Amino acid sequence: MRRPTVHLPPEYARRLLGARDAGAGDQRMRGILAEGFEDVYSRTAAPAPWA
């Protein structure tokens, strides 16, 4: 797995830590990370030229 090079918003860190403390599995943790990356990338991506 590649190391992430973006900073996730604090809400995702809280969710990750809460899930870990609750004993969540790898798939759940990856899902939270995926949501966080999607959020970050969608906010920082340049708008499409036709938009």
Q: What pLDDT shows up at residue 5?
A: 72
CA terminus-to-terminus distance, the chain: 34
**Per-residue H/E/C for 1-51:** CCCCCCCCCHHHHHHHHHHHHCCCCHHHHHHHHHHHHHHHHHHHCCCCCCC
Q: What pLDDT shows up at residue 21?
A: 97
Q: What pLDDT shows up at residue 33?
A: 92
Q: What pLDDT shows up at residue 31?
A: 96
Q: What pLDDT shows up at residue 41?
A: 82
Q: What pLDDT shows up at residue 20?
A: 95
Q: What is the pLDDT of residues 1-51, one digit of tens each?
A: 567 677 888 999 999 999 999 999 999 999 999 999 888 888 766 665 655
